[in-house]
Every structure is written in C-alpha cells, then in structure tokens.
Structure 1
Amino acid sequence: MHLTIENISLQYDKTPVLTNLNADLVSGELIGLLGPNGAGKTSLLKILTTLQSPNKGDILLDGKSIIKRPKLIQKVLGYLPQQIPYFPNLTAVEYLNYVAVMKGVATNQIGSQIKSLLDRLHLSKTGHKKLKDFSGGMRQRVGIAATLLNNPPIIIADEPTAGLDPQERVSLRNLLAELANDHLVLVSTHIVSDIEAVANQILLLQSGQFLYRGTPTNLMTKSNGYVWEYPLPHSKPSLIESNSSLIQRSNGIQVRVLSKTSSQASAQSVTPTLEDACLGIFSGVIPL
C-alpha cells in the first residue's frame, strides 16, 4: 500500500500546528516519526487516521483521498493511540472480543486470533484477569493486541513503548520490525532508540515541519564530523561546551559534543549515532 501526504497544513485558532507536510509511505517499511514533545506528531497521526481533518492538503491511499473517503483507510488500519481506551471491569479476553467484533473479525477467527496475540505479547497467563488489575505496561500490550486484530495492512502507533519495561520494548520493536516486512508500519516516538535498529525511513518533525525525510544511514552520514568526545575536565567540569552530554566509558567520563568544531585540544571526532544525528538536526548544529 502507498500512503501519500500532500501539502498537509493544520492550525488551531490561527496558530500553525503543521505546515506543508509532504511524504511518501509504502508497505514493506517501518517509518519512524521522530520529534520533540509538541512537534505536531500526534496531530499528524490524527489526520492520517481520519480523526481530524487538515485545513489544507490531502492524504492519498493508493491514489485515493482518505480525507474525502475516510472509510478507505479505516478498513485497513490498526491504530494504537497514546491513551489506550479500556474498560476496567472487562478481562483482556473480553475486551479483545469486543474490539474484534467492532473491527469485523470473522466470528470463527476471533478466538484463535486473540489466543495468538496474547501468546505473542506474553499475556496468555493473564488474559482472564480484569484490566483494572493490570499494570500500565500490561494494558499497553493489550492495546497493541487490539491494534493487530484482523491483521491490518497499515499499522500506526503513537508512542507504543510508553509504560513498557526494557524487555517488553525490545519484544515490541522486534514485532513491529517483523510486521514491516509486508505491512506499512508508522511509529511515532520521541525516543530514538525505539526505532533506531529497525526503521527503514525516518521523518524528523519539529514545530510542525519536516526537517528531514530519508534513511537513518543517510542522516548519520550527513552527521559525520559533527560529533566529538573528550575526557571530562577535572579542573573546571562546569565549563563543558553546549549541546553536550556526559557518557561513562571504560577510560572514565567522556563529554560528547555536537558541534562543527571543538574547542578542546583533546577532542576526537567520533562516529555519530542516530540519536546524535537527530539531536544535531533539531538543535541546528547539523545543516539541513
């Protein structure tokens, strides 16, 4: 499937939220939508999922407008919102049965799909407990199961790892990467590590505008020469440079800096990570 974002703009009370966004999203890719809080990520997802209409522009699914015909995407979409709706007095199985009926899953497939998803998301032993007794991370996994019911060709997830522990985050990342082989998977997050190892394409959104659209590899290549490390000065540690962070290495604490040059004689240019590259773009250190 091919989802095309064409000149999308949105404003609230004359305040721009999204400005002339353009992008092509296709099946067989995991696309990471990255940006700081308030960048407009959730607003864009609401437009893509037909929960909101833009002031300008269009979204095309295989060449057809979902703004004019929202049911086109609603039939093929699995959406995981930031705040997952749930009914506290239902068990996980009861809730997933309810969602399955709402999504039109064939009656003779509901039981097997729910069992498979509960197993896959490590919930098989707790499926008959009430949702009010679940931890936040467990409810998040139930929401993910609900999203995947009926095997939707398009999966859109807004901050899907919220509330998950490190092991659960890895499991979900692996699941989304596997699904991306033959689905269109769009993951919105402000945590780069959530998609660093699995994204084929990334969209960097800041202040309602795309600063970068392309592969992680190209972005990191673009960032070569802008990342430096040097030992933390013991005499005046408060004088470290701006756009820097501290990292514990085997040889002591290192200062990692995003900059075109470094004022420290001991600084060495190092290979950028995707997080370095994203921070460099968002801070303006790395040119567009």
Structure 2
Amino acid sequence: MELKIQDLCKSYGKKKALWKFTTEFENGIYGILGPNGAGKSTLLNILTDNLLRDSGSVLYDGEEILNLGASYREIMGYMPQQQQLYDTFTVTHFISYMGTLKGMKSRDIQRRMDELLPLLNLQKVRKKKLKELSGGMKQRVLLLQALLNDPKFLILDEPTAGLDPKERIRIRNLISDLSEDRIVLIATHVVSDIEFISKEILLMKNGRLVDQDSPENLQKRIYGHVYELCISQDELAEVKKEYEISNLFRRDGEIIVRVIADKCPVKYDAVKVSPTLEDVYLYEFEGVKRR
C-alpha cells in the first residue's frame, strides 16, 4: 500500500498554503509538525478530498484519488481537530449515523462499535448525549468514528487534544498497534505523541516540506547545537537574549537551562547533550539566535 504526493500546490490569493509538496507514504505512522500557517490543515483537507488543489497529484496505489470517488472514502478514516458534533445525539446514535454516511451496513456498524467502545474506554457513556461528555471523551468519539470502517489510510488531526496523560498514553499505544497494516498520518503540536511511535516525521513550514526522516535521524542532524548551561539568576536574562531556550529548571540554588545554539556557549558552564524532537522543532522553526 502506497500513497504518493507529487508537486501538490494550493494558494489562497497570493498566499501559497502548499507549494510543490512531494512525498511518499507506506504502511506505518507519519507525524506532521510545523508552526501555525505551515500548511498542515490544507494538506489534510486535500488528502481527505475536502479541498480542491490547484495542481499536483495524489496517487493511492497508483490511482489518482480524484478518480477513485467512493472507493477512496471506503479505505480512508479521518478524525478532525474541531469537535463539531451533534449535541443531542447519544454516542451510539452518532456512531451509527457516521457509519451510515460511510455506506456501512447496520450489522457491520454494530460489530465495529462492540469492538471499539471498550478499546477507547467509552463503554460506560455509550448511551449519553454528546453534550454531556467532556472534551476528552468527545475526542475519543471522533477517533472511534474514524476507525469505524477499519480504514487502510487513517488521518488524525490533533488526536489527543483534551486528554489526560493516562488517556493520551492509551490512545498513543492504540494508534501504534493499528499502524502495522495501514498508513497513519498524525498532525499535532504535542511532540511527545509522535516522537516514539512515528516511522518518519515531516517538518512543514510556509507550505513547504522542510525535511522528512526518522525521529532518530532528525535528532542526529542537530547534534552539537543543544547544550545545558549551569547559570546564576543574574545570568538568566542575558542567556534568554542570546539563545533559544527549550527547558529551564532550578536545582540547589542554580539554574539549569537547555539551549539551542549555533556554537558552544563557551562563556558559560556548558555541556553538550543529546537532542530531543522538541529541540529539532525549535531548531527548525524558531531558529538559532546568532550574535
């Protein structure tokens, strides 16, 4: 199974939301990272066939998705970021309704609900109206409807928004289990959600694909640009001016600051450390402050 995107372009007036975006996906999880306005939502809306592109192609197993029609929607599942739900529907009513829109038979909808409600910890609220649910529960309902037709291509936009840490781990592990025989795209601002489960990370900025590689390789590329400094309170203001700070904590009267730097900060007590994916994000999108 393969999804190939070639020279995808989309503009809104003079703004290029996507520009010559080219990549390929096979089975596995792909995380999409980028600041607001990077083009993530535009990309997802084109891939879900909710938005017309200006040019370029999207091929699923060699076939243009615009020509696949209903057969493409049958293999695709989408979890949107916005919780635009029908407040007066119960959970089971909403899922049944979404299954009908997907063209599923009643018995298949019921079978999949019986499988997924326990997995997503929604059994006890299945008869509650959506307006009675917490934000985190609504997120799980949206994920359930995305999984209902057992899609081969799954698109998740901020899937863990509003979930507590325990539920985030539960959903993250579930997504990882699902990825063996399908393509999963996850757009998120929560770096930890994709750092350890993604096959590859896509870095997007200003509608362009900046980089795409495994989390490990992306981190290796900025080795030598991440340091921990042991400083005093009096030095903190100057460090903030000089460097991009990714973390800061106090210990025994000292301040330990993790910084992104172009060169080793020799004027401070600096130790080179292994980068994280959050460091990669700051390095690529916030930039290195140069003196």
TM-score higher than 0.5: yes
Task: Give the drift of 1:250.
Answer: 5.6
Deviation at 1:160, TM superposition (A): 1.1
1:139 lines up with 2:153 in the alignment: no
Distance (Å, rounded) in 1 between the aligned partners of 2:118 and 2:130: 17
CA distance, structure 2, for counterparts of residue 154 and residue 238 of structure 1: 48
Check 1:221–1:249 CA distance in 2 against 1; reply closer, same or farther (3 A cut): farther
Structure 1 contact 227–258 (Cα < 8 Å) conserved: yes
Which residue identity lines up with residue 89 of structure 1 in the other structure? T
How much identity, in percent, do the aligned residues show? 38
Q: Which residue of 1 aligns with 2:243?
A: 242
Give the residue type in structure 2 aligned to 1:50: D
Aligned CA RMSD, in angstroms, stands at 1.7
Whether contact under 8 Å (1:202, 1:215) holds in the other structure is yes
Q: Give structure 1 stretches of 5+ with no counterpart.
A: none
Aligned to 1:157: 156
Number of residue pairs aligned between Structure 1 and Structure 2:
285
Q: What does residue 12 of structure 2 align with?
A: 12
Q: For residues 33 and 71 of structure 2, what CA distance do their matches in structure 1 show? A: 26
**Pairwise CA distance, 1:88:** 0.8
Aligned 8 A contact 1:53 1:67 in 2: no
* 1: CA distance, partners of 2:287 / 2:7: 24
Gaps of 5+ in 2: none
For the 8 Å contact 2:227–2:273, the answer to whether it is kept is yes
Q: Is the 2:246–2:278 Cα contact (8 Å) retained in structure 1?
A: no
SS at match of 1:278: helix
Q: Deviations over 1:174-203 (max 9, x none)?
A: 111111111110001122111111001110
The DSSP-based 3-state class of the residue aligned with 1:267 is strand
TM-score by length of 1: 0.94
Task: Look up the match of 1:43.
Answer: 42
Corresponding position of 2:278? 275
Report the equivalent of 2:258: 256
Q: State the shift of 1:172 in Å.
A: 1.0
The residue number in structure 1 matching 2:91 is 92
Q: Residue 238 of structure 1 aligns to a residue in which SS?
A: helix
Structure having the larger proportion of residues in helix: 2
State TM-score, norm by structure 2.
0.93
Give, in angstroms, the shift of residue 72 of structure 1. Answer: 4.1
Pairing 1:114–2:109 present: no
Residue type of the alignment partner of 1:134: L
